């Protein structure tokens, strides 16, 4: 599942004020841990973030990063504890969005959607389309297609040119068997920006469903160029259940 997580630098700090030296050490280790997270080095991220947490147990970035790290390391109970504390300390949109993604992966769709909506409704958040699209994706994965449709449309009402929302709505139309509309939406998304690898494959499947092998091959070539070592053929992506 390709979640649109906002893993940002800065924004360190907590709800209490530890001694200055401890605060600086917590900030430095939390920043290091978040940098390891961005690189996908989850074990080293965990080590740095745990160190930050020892210096300041109410450090927002440390608690958030630990939630992300434990989630990536498939330790959901630990992840949930740290996510919940991070949300209590600072219910920022980026934290709410990543907590929603975690909850969706755990199958708690209703609570995930609640967190995504909290992120979207934050008064200082400038990209509500992102968590609204994530809410739609979570509902789509749960086979709640009508509800997913509503959230994708809310995302597009907030940001009409948002590529991820257009592409996910196209994916939904494909699942509903509305191939011509899916094709039109994929073309619209492709004209607005870069399609993710997942959406390039889905666009190719859509063209195959319409017996348009040339456009399907074009999408597939773009996917293969961007993913060396993970190349696909038209035959592979046309198989039911092939991702």
Tens digits of per-residue pLDDT, 42-57?
999 999 999 999 999 9
pLDDT at 10: 39
Would the pLDDT of 12 be above 90?
no
Q: Quick one: average pLDDT of 11-30?
A: 72
Tens digits of per-residue pLDDT, 75-120?
999 999 999 999 999 999 999 999 999 999 999 999 999 999 999 9
Q: Quick one: average pLDDT of 160-175?
A: 98
Distance, in Å, from the CA atom of 201 to the CA atom of 196, rounded to the nearest integer, reads 9
**Domains in the chain with CATH codes:** 161-243 (1.25.40)
243 vs 180, residue with greater confidence: 180
Q: Output the six-digit token pair for 41.
A: 């080095």
Would the pLDDT of 124 be above 90?
no
pLDDT at 238: 79
pTM for the structure as a whole: 0.88
Would the pLDDT of 1 be above 50?
no
When pLDDT is cut at 50, 70 and 90, the band that residue 2 belongs to is very low
Distance, in Å, from the CA atom of 46 to the CA atom of 64, rounded to the nearest integer, reads 11
Q: Quick one: average pLDDT of 7-18?
A: 47
């Amino acid at each position: 599942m390709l979640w649109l997580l906002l893993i940002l630098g800065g924004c360190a700090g907590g709800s209490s004020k530890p001694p200055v030296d401890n605060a600086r050490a917590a900030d430095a280790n939390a920043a290091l841990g978040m940098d390891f997270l961005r690189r996908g080095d989850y074990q080293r991220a965990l080590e740095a973030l745990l160190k930050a947490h020892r210096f300041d147990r109410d450090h927002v970035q440390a608690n958030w990063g630990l939630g992300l790290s434990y989630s990536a390391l498939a330790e959901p109970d630990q992840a949930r504890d740290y996510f919940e504390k991070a949300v209590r300390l600072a219910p920022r949109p980026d934290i709410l969005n990543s907590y929603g993604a975690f909850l969706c992966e755990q199958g708690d769709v209703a609570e995930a959607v609640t967190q995504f909506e909290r992120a979207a409704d934050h008064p200082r958040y400038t990209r509500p389309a992102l968590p609204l699209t994530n809410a739609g994706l979570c509902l789509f994965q749960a086979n709640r297609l009508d509800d997913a449709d509503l959230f994708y449309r809310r995302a597009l009402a907030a940001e009409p040119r948002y590529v991820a929302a257009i592409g996910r709505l196209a994916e939904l139309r494909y699942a509903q068997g509305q191939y011509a509309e899916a094709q039109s939406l994929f073309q619209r998304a492709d004209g607005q920006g870069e399609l993710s690898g997942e959406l390039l494959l889905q666009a190719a499947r859509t063209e195959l469903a319409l017996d348009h092998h040339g456009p399907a091959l074009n999408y597939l070539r773009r996917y293969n160029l961007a993913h060396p070592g993970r190349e696909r053929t038209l035959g592979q992506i046309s198989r039911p259940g092939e991702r």
